Amino acid sequence: MSAPSHITHVLVDGARYPDALRRLYARDDLAEIEPLYLLTRFKDLAEQGPILVAPRDRRFVDEILAEGDGERTRAMSLLSSPASTGSLSDHLLGFVEIESEGAPRLLRFADPLVLRHWLASHGERVPVDIMGPIRSWRVAHWAPAWNEEGEPAWQAFEAAEHPTPGKEQASKAPAMLAAPQRDALDAVARWQFKERLSAHFERNAAVPWSRLASAMRGDWLEARLDDALVWGAQTERQLAIWAELALHWGADFVTATDGPYARWVAGDASRGRLPRQQQLYTLDDWCRSGKAHQENGHRTTRTSSHV
């Protein structure tokens, strides 16, 4: 894929591009390198924060686009703007912390996964108060860990309108995150959790995990997490236990009359009166102990580790 001729800047997420400043300054084709956190209270983490780069020519951008699903694809986004690097930095600094439901929230907008969810939450075209002097913002969309691998696609987010030069200078970041943006950031957190679950199942439950078609795994994980929340799971560990029990015993492991939950309660009625969160821990221990396999209805061999 060739680089669009009008890419003017690259935004680097230092957290996803280790040793970022050394690697960037080692290049001779970058005209400007600005770690945005240097001007905030997070200055001690400047190398792990957003870093705005202005390439001298097309070489750096061409390398990013040609990489496929690689480190830079997952750490960098491409911007088109008529503004100077300084003006663009001033605009982006307004997004480092945004008020969300009355409290400041760190927005990791340089992370392409966060960025594409955040921008997409604004609709087909992103409002000018978000884009400011940015005409187009390109972000890679790669296959999630629970799906089959494939080449990433670059999605271009366009400004709802092209501001006049005066408006570009006056543009400010919004003061708070609205509900659609909060939902988008929650979706990022769930995406990341599902990826951790997928990696755990690949390592520790490869056989039952392989029985799920890769195209169905995302929906399966989504449904199991929803089931767990409705039932009363509250923490990530509880959600992970629920998903693993469902993987080994079936999605109906709590409701099936011959399932492990029914047999576990039948063995001691007091178990069913425990708080639901405690029930998950105790049921999981019972299944891991091998007692679930000593009775009728066992489906598969349990693993011995948690996510």
pLDDT digits 0-9 by tens, 46-56: 999 999 999 99
- List, for residues 22-45, the tens digit of each pLDDT value: 999 999 999 999 999 998 999 999
Q: What is the reported pLDDT for 171?
A: 44
- List, for residues 133-185, the tens digit of each pLDDT value: 999 999 999 989 898 777 899 999 998 876 545 544 444 544 468 899 999 99
Q: What is the reported pLDDT for 262?
A: 95
Q: What is the DSSP letter of 103?
A: E
Q: What is the reported pLDDT for 5?
A: 52
Q: What is the reported pLDDT for 183?
A: 95
Q: What is the reported pLDDT for 276?
A: 94
- List, for residues 270-281, the tens digit of each pLDDT value: 999 999 999 999
Pairwise CA distance, residues 283 & 271, whole Å: 9
Length of the chain: 307
Q: What is the reported pLDDT for 277?
A: 95
Q: 58 pLDDT exceeds 90?
A: yes
CB 144 within 8 A of CB 157: no
Q: What is the reported pLDDT for 13?
A: 98
Can you tell me the mean pLDDT for 204-219? Answer: 95
pLDDT band at 297 (very low <50, low <70, confident <90, very high): very low
Q: What's the alpha-carbon Rg for the chain, to the nearest Å?
A: 24
24 φ, ψ (degrees, to nearest 5)? -70, -45
Q: 108 pLDDT exceeds 90?
A: yes
Pairwise CA distance, residues 52 & 242, whole Å: 42
Pairwise CA distance, residues 45 & 47, whole Å: 6
Q: What is the reported pLDDT for 300?
A: 43
Q: 61 pLDDT exceeds 50?
A: yes
Q: What is the reported pLDDT for 301?
A: 43
Q: What is the reported pLDDT for 282?
A: 95
Q: 127 pLDDT exceeds 50?
A: yes
CB 79 within 8 A of CB 8: yes
CB 53 within 8 A of CB 60: yes
Q: Using alpha carbons only, what angle is made at residue 219 by residues 289 and 149, rounded to the nearest 5 degrees?
A: 95
Averaged pLDDT of the chain: 89
Where along the chain do its domains lie? Answer: 9-174, 205-294
pLDDT band at 102 (very low <50, low <70, confident <90, very high): confident
- List, for residues 235-246, the tens digit of each pLDDT value: 999 999 999 999
Q: What is the reported pLDDT for 1?
A: 42
